[in-house]
Amino acid sequence: MTRQGERQMRIGFIGVGMMGEGVARNLMKGGHELWLHAHRNRAPLERLVSEGAHEARSLAELAGKSEIVMLCLTTSKVVGATVEALLPNLSAGQIVIDTGTSDPVETRKLAHRLSERGIAFVDAPMTGGPEQAARAAVGALIGADPETYKTVAPVISCYAARQRRFGPPGAGQTAKLISNYVITGMIALVAEAFGTARRAGIDWADLYDVMQAGSGNSGVLKKMMEAALAGDFDGYRWSLANAGKDIAYYAELAESLDRLTPLTEAVREVFAAAAAGGHGGRNVSHLLDPAVDDVS
């Protein structure tokens, strides 16, 4: 339930996919009134409606019912198109929150466009995966003006164990891309290293066991390897296409700051090659799969 002194909000939510379903459920647990609109897959929406959420039959209805509209979508292009569709029915005083990973340049443009209508925009991309979203344990990297942040911080705390405001709109996405660069780099490194181990005849299970006692141990290593050792290459639930999108956004950011390096380009190429090979819909731990691994 909402904590004492916190106001229940009417929240419209678009994008109840792998991450969004857990976020939406925790908003309801926090006492907020939730209005959903089906983006693609209806199954999560129907589960949430059965638990007390409401379905908006159109984006116009969702905009009209909501004080805050939250988006958990795949790309800046999809976020932009969705906001454009919502805009005729949004009013001054409302807040739009993008919880996905987007291009900071596009985020700032969108924030400016909405501000001209008196609508606040917040970028609040998340760290963690579906498991963390389900148990309200993600991190949130936030870009917002200070007053808007005061309003949305209690809402975000319903599903985020940690949150930080990094600056105005766009700052949260910038911080998230830097964070994701570290993660995509580690994913590429683990995949390449264990591919080399297989070629060299080094037992994966033994190598993983010993690495857990050293500084090479990490959440990435665990997510990728524990399931893979049992022959399951879906342990890390993050699509190669989405990871590739994020590292491409990071490369654009790095280039704009004169920080594009051969390392950035090498990591970007790992994911670009996987997508070009038709593997974009697979999870990133499929880079360990012998059928997919030769992508670097």
Rounded Cα gap, residues 249 and 261, in angstroms:
14
Cβ contact 262:250 at 8 Å: no
Q: Which class is domain 175-288?
A: mainly alpha
Q: How confident is the model at residue 27 (pLDDT cuts 50, 70, 90)?
A: very high
Q: What stretches of the chain adopt beta strand conformation (E)?
A: 10-14, 33-37, 54-55, 68-71, 95-98, 120-123, 126-127, 138-143, 160-167
Domain ranges of the chain: 10-168, 175-288
pLDDT digits (tens, 9 = 90+) for 80-133: 999 999 999 999 999 999 999 999 999 999 999 999 999 999 999 999 999 999
pLDDT > 80? residue 1: no
- DSSP annotation string for 45-78: HHHHHHTT-EE-SSHHHHHHH-SEEEE--S-HHH
> Would you state the pLDDT for residue 291?
76
Residue 4, pLDDT > 80, answer: no
Residue 44 pLDDT > 90, yes or no? Answer: yes
**What's the CATH number for 10-168?**
3.40.50.720
- With H, G, I as helix, E, B as strand and everything else as coil, classify residue 144: coil
Q: Strand pairing of 54-55 and 33-37?
A: parallel
The residues, ordered by sequence, that sit 6+ positions from 263 with a Cβ below 8 Å of its Cβ are 185
Looking at this protein, which amino acid is placed at residue 204? W
**Residue closest to 236 by CA, chosen among 132, 113, 137:** 132
